[in-house]
């Protein structure tokens, strides 16, 4: 049988936020490959092989998945959220680019998923109603100077900014440095949202301002949204109007 590889995202964590197309791809799989905690979100099926791995070995995991597909298996690579947003889809194509020529002819598909930024925005209203961008604060795969340059440019352009990977035990100081960089350009009263476990029953929201934002409030399950100049609060909601009026 010809193998295949589908890269999926589980959504932010609640089963209803996984798309039906993603669930169908999982149901057809013979092999699931992914980071342990994301694999744990996928209900187990008899006869399915699970290949759990550590978070830091994305390329090895991608190569493993490709070699299973080349051997005729129906492989699903599991990410959280959307697989194309700071996740496994890009790692799969990087592995294809540098890997065996035959991998380029494999049946590879990417299924879209609900990314954290969308789930977090929905928890608080419509903060992404105007132009926005997403920046990962992780410097595992890029230099911190690149992160700072992009933060400065995004602030200058008055984007709403969604910050993925705002903190981890290995990198406790980066969010504080990011806020410092943004304070140079953005107003002190700019709304800042810490949304933890968005789209799950454990969700918590902290709405504050750029002047008062405490980096210690973020962890690895938190998405931080920094408003644009027009982002505002109405009662318990935060939104960015679409019009410039």
* Residue 205 three-state SS: strand
Minimum distance, C-beta of residue 81 to ligand SAH, in the bound complex (Å): 2
Applying CB under 6 A, which part among 27-35, 42-50, 152-160, 218-226 lies near ligand SAH? 218-226
Per-residue b/e over 110-140, b at no fewer than 16 CB within 10 Å?
bbebbbbbbbbbbbbbebbbbebebbbbbee
By CB under 6 A, what part of segment 158-177 binds ligand SAH?
164-166
221 scored as a contact of ligand SAH (CB under 6 A)? yes
Q: Whose CA is closest to 111, among 141, 142, 77? A: 77
By CB under 6 A, what part of segment 78-117 binds ligand SAH?
79-82, 85-87, 115-116
- Phi/psi for 173 (5° steps) reads -100, -5
Among 62, 195, 226, 228, binds ligand SAH (CB under 6 A): 195
Dist. CA 52–CA 37, nearest whole Å? 9
Dist. CA 180–CA 229, nearest whole Å? 17
Extended strands (E) in 36-89 = 49-53, 74-79
120 scored as a contact of ligand SAH (CB under 6 A)? yes
Site string (7-46) toward ligand SAH, x via CB under 6 A: --x--xx---------------------------------
Q: Quote the distance between the C-alpha of residue 141 and its chain's center.
A: 15
Applying CB under 6 A, which part among 44-52, 54-62, 141-149, 215-223 lies near ligand SAH? 215-223
222 scored as a contact of ligand SAH (CB under 6 A)? yes
Q: Which residues bind ligand SAH (CB under 6 A)?
A: 9, 12-13, 79-82, 85-87, 115-116, 119-120, 164-166, 195-200, 220-223
């Amino acid at each position: 049988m010809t193998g295949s590889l589908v890269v999926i995202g589980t959504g932010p964590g609640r089963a209803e936020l996984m798309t039906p197309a993603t669930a169908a791809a999982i149901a057809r799989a013979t092999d699931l490959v992914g980071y342990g905690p994301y694999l744990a979100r996928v209900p187990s099926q008899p006869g399915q092989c699970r290949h759990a791995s550590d978070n830091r070995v994305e390329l090895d995991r991608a190569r493993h998945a490709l070699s299973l597909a080349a051997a005729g298996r129906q492989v699903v690579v599991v990410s959280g959220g959307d697989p194309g947003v700071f996740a496994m889809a890009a790692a799969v194509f990087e592995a294809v680019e540098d890997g065996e020529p035959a991998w380029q002819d494999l049946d590879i598909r990417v299924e879209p998923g609900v990314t954290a930024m969308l789930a977090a925005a929905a928890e608080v209203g419509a903060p992404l109603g105007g132009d926005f961008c997403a920046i990962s604060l992780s410097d595992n795969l890029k230099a911190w100077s690149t992160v700072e340059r992009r933060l400065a440019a995004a602030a200058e352009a008055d984007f709403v900014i969604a910050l993925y990977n705002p903190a981890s035990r290995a990198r406790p100081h980066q969010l504080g440095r990011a806020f410092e960089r943004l304070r140079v350009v953005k107003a002190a009263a700019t709304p800042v949202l810490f949304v933890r476990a968005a789209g799950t029953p454990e969700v918590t929201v902290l709405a504050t301002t750029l002047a008062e934002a405490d980096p210690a409030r973020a962890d690895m399950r938190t998405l931080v949204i920094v408003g644009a100049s027009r982002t505002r609060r109405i009662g318990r909601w935060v939104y960015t109007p679409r019009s410039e009026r």
